Amino acid sequence: MGCPKKFSVSGGMGSALLSDVKRACDIISTLRRNLSKPVTAKIRLLDPNDPRPTLDFVRSLIQAGANAITIHGRIVGDESHTMARWTTLVEVVRQLKQTESVPIIVNGDLYTRADIREMKRRTGCDGIMLARPALYNISLFRKGQDETQDVDTTNKDDEIPLPTFQTTNHQGTYGYNSPLLHSRTSIVQEYISHCVRYRAHSKNAKYVVCEMMNSRRAPTNRVPFLNMEYETGQTIASVCKCKSLNDLVKIWDVTRTIPLPTTANNAKSNETEAAGDLHNYDDRYFLDHDKFRNERKEEVKKVLADEKKTNEDSPVAKRPKVTK
């Protein structure tokens, strides 16, 4: 219930449900009545500073039957490159853990295990959810030996203010350069090897690799701490030049156990991929995103204007209006 995109909210879905608690609860209760599986919900904060609207909404969902709730630390309208609102998020989760028994999961800007440990310590949350940090380095899920025990939530001495903690270049075992992390090059190589094994579409594979390599969606305060360089010099530009899985394999020097189709079958494989290619991926999305986005806006405006003119010129539009 957090997606703010037009295709979601225009249909009353996504973040539109955050302003319609009755419908949101009806969805939860209907699912609970008809499913034997747990029903969970993921929402955003409803207010940037006041925890009460979010608390009321979450408790309504729980009363409707939600088995677990995930809360993302941004409100509708917040861009991904702005810091998540940890101060409000922490207060919301603290209060929920005092009164509710269902699992409460936290999401938003957890880029290091230091972030994860601190969020668990301050809130007592039952778990964390990762999206962009997992794209940056999926091995972030690797735990240290002393993380097998529950985090102590009682020690509140010498707490660093949350905004300060969010802008700190964490070092050591749980920091940005943690020894627990695998190299990002090896992670991309492993991803591509899976793409080869399961015959992923090359454009889909290339898109995901480019998302793994760029930091444009990361919070501005985090970007200086995220190492975007690769040991063997791969760049987004070099990946964008790839036209096939074999091209990706070559520039990333991937060692694979499942071979690509033989040369004899390569043409047939490419024809099959092209025949099923319903998406138009434009490399400018990664190479010059701002310019690409502005050009797309102008293209959409032109399409809408053309459609309007076509509708106005249609025979139906020119028929005399019937008045009562």
Helix axes 86-99, 113-123, angle to 10 degrees: 50
Distance CA 144, CA 244 (A): 38
CA separation for the pair 231, 186 (Å, rounded): 10
- Residue of 191, 192, 199, 209 whose CA lies nearest to 269: 199
Quick check: is 125 catalytic?
Answer: no
Q: Whole-angstrom Cα distance, residue 15 to residue 67?
A: 20
Residue 105 makes CB contacts below 8 A (sequence gap 6+) with 68, 69, 70, 71, 125, 126, 127, 128, 129
CA distance 85 to 166: 10
* Class of residue 158 by CB neighbours under 10 A (exposed 0-12, middle 13-18, buried 19+): exposed
Q: Choose the catalytic residue: 3, 125, 195, 242.
A: 3
Only one residue has tokens 């996504």, namely 14
> Strand locations in 227-308, DSSP E?
none
Secondary structure class of 190 (helix, strand, coil): helix
In sequence order, what E strands does 113-152 have?
Answer: 127-129
Helix (H, G, I), strand (E, B) or coil at 201: coil
Angle at 79 between CA 114 and CA 61, to 5 degrees: 75
Q: What is the rounded distance in angstroms from the CA atom of residue 290 to the CA atom of residue 296?
A: 10
With b for 16 or more beta-carbon neighbours within 10 A and e for fewer, the 80-110 pattern comes to eeebbbbbbbbbbbbbbbeebebebbbbbbb
Active site residues: 3
